[in-house]
Amino acid sequence: MVEQRPPTDSDPESVAQRAADRLALALEDVGFDVGREFPLLHSRLDREGAPVVDLGHVAASVASQLTAVLSRVAGSPDLADES
């Protein structure tokens, strides 16, 4: 019989889920409606078992808004209008 252990805080699935949750909260904090604008955001493991976060497909307008937010945080000129 194989012993089933509960996941730990450092197992890859937990790491991926925490990262996805933190990203969703950060996106909401800067004004995004995550459920509507990032409906496919989720955590998973890649082929090698490493934790990853998928953002899914986002509309071009959402990508532009995200670019503007990241540019402001980075102190860069706003790149949202460049195509």
Closest-CA residue to 57 (of 72, 36, 71): 36
Residue 7: how many CA atoms within 13 Å on its side-chain side? Answer: 10
Contact 19, 25 (CB under 8 A): no
- Which residues face 44 on adjacent strands? 52
Radius of gyration from C-alpha coordinates of the chain: 16
Q: Which amino acid is at 20?
A: A
For the chain, 83 residues long, give each residue's pLDDT as a single digit of tens. 455 555 567 899 999 999 999 999 999 999 999 999 999 999 999 999 999 999 999 999 999 999 999 999 888 766 555 54
What pTM was computed for the model?
Answer: 0.78
